[in-house]
Amino acid sequence: MSYENLNFPEGSKFLVTGVAGFIGSNLVEAILGLGYKVRGLDNLSTGKKENIEEFLNHPLFEFVEGDIRDLDTCMQACEGVDYVLHQAAWGSVPRSIEMPLFYEEVNIKGTLNMMEAARQNRVQKFVYASSSSVYGDEPNLPKKEGIEGNLLSPYAFTKMANEEYGKLYTSLYDLDTYGLRYFNVFGKRQNPDGAYAAVIPKFIIQLLNDEAPTINGDGKQSRDFTYIENVIEANLKACKASSEAAGQAYNIAYGGREYLIDIYNELCKALGKDIKPIYGPHRLGDIKHSNADISKATAMLLYEPEYDFQKGITLAIEWYKKNL
């Protein structure tokens, strides 16, 4: 893995927000593996304590239960920290359409609190999760930074607001911020449960339980599915990036394109199942096709994803079989 050769100054300390979530817990595992200190912050509203259970007694790990909506909590969490990897947020496009005020509170105000706390604590790098949803109804593929359409959901709006604040905090306050526009991340520890669960873990679990999964729409929508290891690489490389690259957002994906129905058929094959899916209505706010141009991240962050969809899905299936 290309991030295993990254060196940070001795005694470096990372703060990972949303640490008990899917991406956050994978980041902690990777950073502890490199031998650096990690403080994790989470209010456990969507994250699960079991995701970080194995790290709780690690000498380099410290867990803080707290909410990013509280500035004092953010200030304390950023104390003595060199790098912030801000993953805490509420996800899901459909849920944001039902709960716009809540998304404003958590995803915009919470992120602003974190940036302000990072600035006041003189954090070196502030890396935060954005999303491919910021491309909205822009039809052209591949998606390229700087060519965005109309936003289609409150969730997408919160991520675009984060990027605008990131720009301002870099230009006004010299805080090096890096926005990572994740494209459909999947992998170990991703939650398969609930109405808003991501499609890959949900399909895997339902097929393992001999249930027929529901595909929203016709199954011909395409996504740039991105394995978790690529996302870890992007976060850590952003911490090493030059200040010239700060104040901007970057596509983080593999740069491939998979159709949902093809993925479903592939999972059936891999799991030895022959189950016909149920087709449901198209989801409001969903983007039909998604595929990333990652050349900017490659040039500015030296991002070189090693895990294509095939490699990633094989590892994900293995993990779910063992752990669920």
Query: In which band, very low, low, confident or very high, does the pLDDT at 250 lie, cut at 50, 70 and 90?
Result: very high
- State the amino acid at position 76 in one-letter form: Q
Q: Return the pLDDT at 216.
A: 87
Q: What is the pLDDT of residues 193-246, one digit of tens each?
A: 877 678 899 999 999 999 999 998 899 999 999 999 999 999 999 999 999 999
Residue 53, token pair as written in the block: 């259970």
pTM, entire model: 0.95
**How do the residues of the chain divide into helix, strand and coil, expressed in percent and rounded to 5?**
45, 15, 40
Percent of the chain with pLDDT over 70: 99
Please determine, for residue 24, whether its predicted confidence score (pLDDT) is greater than 90: yes
Q: How far apart are CA 9 and CA 124, in angstroms?
A: 12
Let me know if 200 is exposed, middle or buried by CB neighbors in 10 A (0-12, 13-18, 19+).
buried
Query: In which band, very low, low, confident or very high, does the pLDDT at 125 lie, cut at 50, 70 and 90?
Result: very high
Window from 12-16, 202-206, 304-308 with minimum mean pLDDT:
202-206
Q: What is the pLDDT of residues 27-63, one digit of tens each?
A: 999 999 999 999 999 999 999 999 999 999 999 999 9
Containing 126, the helix (H) or strand (E) segment is strand 125-131
Please determine, for residue 3, whether its predicted confidence score (pLDDT) is greater than 90: no
CA-wise closest residue to 16 among 109, 73, 70, 81:
81
The DSSP secondary structure of 269-318, one letter per residue, reads HHHT---PPEEEPPPTT--SB--B--HHHHHHH-------HHHHHHHHHH
Mean pLDDT score, 66-75: 98
Q: How far apart are CA 110 and CA 104, in angstroms?
A: 9
Q: Checking phi first, is residue 178 left (phi over 0); if not, alpha (psi -120 to 50) or beta?
A: beta
Instruction: Delimit the domains of the chain by residue range.
Output: 12-183+226-255+292-306
The CATH fold assigned to 12-183+226-255+292-306 is Rossmann fold (3.40.50)
CA-wise closest residue to 147 among 181, 175, 104, 108:
181
Q: Which residues contact 73 (CB under 8 A, 6 or more apart)?
A: 41, 64, 66, 67
Please determine, for residue 95, whether its predicted confidence score (pLDDT) is greater than 70: yes
Helices (runs of H) and strands (runs of E) counted in the chain: 11, 13
Please determine, for residue 284, whether its predicted confidence score (pLDDT) is greater than 90: no
Mean pLDDT score, 286-299: 92
254 is an active site residue: no
Q: Return the pLDDT at 196.
A: 65
Q: Which of 135, 155, 182, 264 is catalytic?
A: 155
Window from 81-85, 233-237, 266-270, 282-286 with minimum mean pLDDT:
282-286
Mean pLDDT of the chain, nearest integer: 95
Alpha helices in 180-243 (DSSP H): 199-208, 228-240
Per DSSP, what are the bridge partners of residue 126? 84, 177
CA-wise closest residue to 246 among 153, 128, 137, 141:
128
Q: Return the pLDDT at 4.
A: 84
DSSP state, 143?
B
Q: How far apart are CA 49 and CA 194, in angstroms?
A: 17
CA-wise closest residue to 314 among 257, 260, 267, 274:
267
Residue 108, token pair as written in the block: 């915009």
